[in-house]
Chains A and B, each alone.
Chain A
Amino acid sequence: MRVSLAITLPLVTLSLLLLFVLHSESLSEELSSQAILDKIDKMWRGESSRGTFSMKIKTAHWERNLRIKSWTKGLDYTLIRIEYPKKEKDVSTLKVKNNLWNYLPKIKRVIKVPSSLMMGSWMGSHFTNDDLVKESTLVNDYYHHITFEGEREGQGVYELTLFPKEEAAVVWGKIIILMRKRDLIPLYEVFFDEKEKPVRKMIFNDVKMMGGRLLPTKMTVVPYDKPGEFTEVIYIEIAFDMEILDTFFSLRNLTR
């Protein structure tokens, strides 16, 4: 089964969005966390997507609304293009393997984002550049187990706790994922730093059919250290599994 996802946001998280597909399969009671994550990772392979979403960023000092188009192919390729507002129209980000470039149409220049800035904010949002590039897979880079199974918030849920493997080059010290038991759609995800202090929470809402699949169409990132700030992503449209050539994800196309 080939599944794809049209977004540019943290791949790790995005993968979770795909969990909805699992609902079509019979979920046995003994489904292990390993199996859940493994399925997510498997779903990633060889997929492609094209989507449009809006991004609302609110900080202590300003609030902005962006409309963004994105294309992805497998794990390695992502192209994001800002459609709105006018000032940033056609500002684009290309991710090929571990490299990240930004294209700035105003000055017609491409800038490579240095690795020292991977934890920097992507276009002012509460997503980091690393969220875009990191191709760590949950199943490969984290130890994971179900830490809770039962009723919470009025529905049956699984809570998964992930710790990074020693050798994994990952940013987070711990991740907690809460998902609906019936269709494995994630409810929220909490990211902790290496001191196990919560850093940010990603909340998933508005589960509905889109692109032929049931998925949460709204995602909100809330940083713990900046009360009142958030970045909200709402899918406008999304389509999966179309043919996109690798050459589409080129510097040349970035500056199109």
Chain B
Amino acid sequence: MLLYPKLAWRNIWRNNRRTLITQFALVVALSLMIAFSGLTWGLIKQMERNATLLGPGEIQIHSPGYLDDRSIYRVIDHPDIIINKIEKLGVNAAPRLQGFGLVSQGENSSGAQIWGVDLMREKKVTEFHNHLFKGSFLKKERDVLLGKKIAVTLDASIGDELVIVTQAADGSIGNDLYRVAGILSGISEEIDRSTIMMSIGDFKNIFSLGDVATEIAIRRGDETENLNNLRDRIKNITPDEEVKTWREIFPAVSDMLELTDVSIYILLIIIYLAGSLIMLNTMLMSVFERIKELGIMMAIGLRPLQVLILIFLETFFLTLCGSLVGLLCGVSLSLYLTHYGLDLSSITEGFSFVGILAEPHWFAVTNVTTVLPPVIFLFVLSLLAVVYPAMKASLLKPVDALVFH
């Protein structure tokens, strides 16, 4: 039984140049497929990350009805009790308060969505502190962070004094002075245009609120944990509040990202098809080049089925060799992109897609899901691609083959 593999192996290397060219094409195709797949997954991951870790967090707890009527009267009482329980699960949680206010700097003023955040805990749940355009994250009382566009509207820069006026929860007029500590990089239209962050203590002062939060933002401790499972676990802790994953709160964003997933699959399949066409071409050439040879083998007694097996084996070996080298090159390239990324900041400042920021510095992801599908796909397509030449060869009549030019 070892005859066929041996024969196939020798056939491949009978024409070194042809085989090497094929191998080279395979290696290039596979490397690019792996790198492309890594980059696209990286983009999706990044956007998913920005949709969660630069905004709502992964799961949110609200008082029932808050999502339909975002009022500072629909609050979670004593959020610390819930947060302590959640932190015991090894999950990060941060209380937040959100309300509307009028912000003014010098002659300029604007309406703003004000966030009160817990200075320590917010950093564990979101990545705002790593996403600053200028200045630093909130450090002390009366520090505020501005969205990128509202900072322009207010003509505010680091260190400037801001006035914020609000309608406090008791109906009185809340007003106070703050200092611009930092300006966020572009995140999403909503945050850029209207968001101002301050410490949750300052928020409670200006809005005359007690020990409450309008939401608790949550981030998994273990990124592999299923979000819905975690949501159910948290629901058990706080049965009276509304617990939702970001996908449930922002179905449009979630749907768009999923749609992006699908379109990227389609793009990958097109690229894979192009890769396998190289394979088809090579195998067709190698069969037609050897028609005379195959004719002789058939004349000395090789049956059509055996020819078929032989050609499939050849393809298998060819793909195997190419894949191994391609895998090596592709994974190295992908790892490089994972580590150093693709810096497009000289070309673009990043773009917003479905209101979510895609950053100009683009990092790939390298894991089984980005590497394995291209390899499997290449194998399957190569073997499919060779069906036609293999059939053609096995159906040759020795007499015709021998006189084939």
Contacts and interface: CB of A to CB of B under 8 A. Distances in A.
- Chain A complexes with chain B: yes
Contact of B109 (A60, A111, A121): A111
Interface in B134-180: 163, 165, 167, 169-173, 175-177
Given A64-B172, A104-B165, A120 B111 contact: yes
Contacts of B170: 62, 64
A123 B174 CA distance: 10
Nearest to B168: A124
A121 B111 CA distance: 13
A116 B111 contact: yes
Nearest to A109: B163
Nearest to B177: A107
A24 to B, nearest CB: 41
Contacts of A256: none
Interface string A114-157: 10110011011000000000000000000000000000000000
Contact of B171 (A102, A113, A114, A124): A124
Contact of B165 (A61, A63, A102): A102
A142 B28 CA distance: 74
A195 interface: no
A112 interface: yes
B111 A117 contact: yes
Contacts of A107: 163, 175-177
A88 interface: yes
Given A104-B173, A107-B176, A107-B177, A114 B111 contact: yes
A88 B109 contact: no
A13 interface: no
B173 A91 contact: yes
Contact of B175 (A57, A106, A114): A106
Interface string B76-102: 000000000000000000000000001
A121 B176 CA distance: 19
A106 B206 CA distance: 12
Contacts of A34: none
Contact of A63 (B107, B169, B171): B171
B394 interface: no
B22 interface: no
Interface of A: 57, 59-64, 85, 87-88, 91, 102, 104, 106-107, 109, 111-114, 116-117, 120-121, 123-124
Interface of B: 73, 102, 104, 107, 109-111, 163, 165, 167, 169-173, 175-177
15 contacts: A61-B169, A64-B172, A88-B173, A104-B165, A107-B163, A107-B176, A107-B177, A109-B163, A111-B163, A111-B165, A112-B107, A112-B109, A114-B102, A116-B110, A117-B102
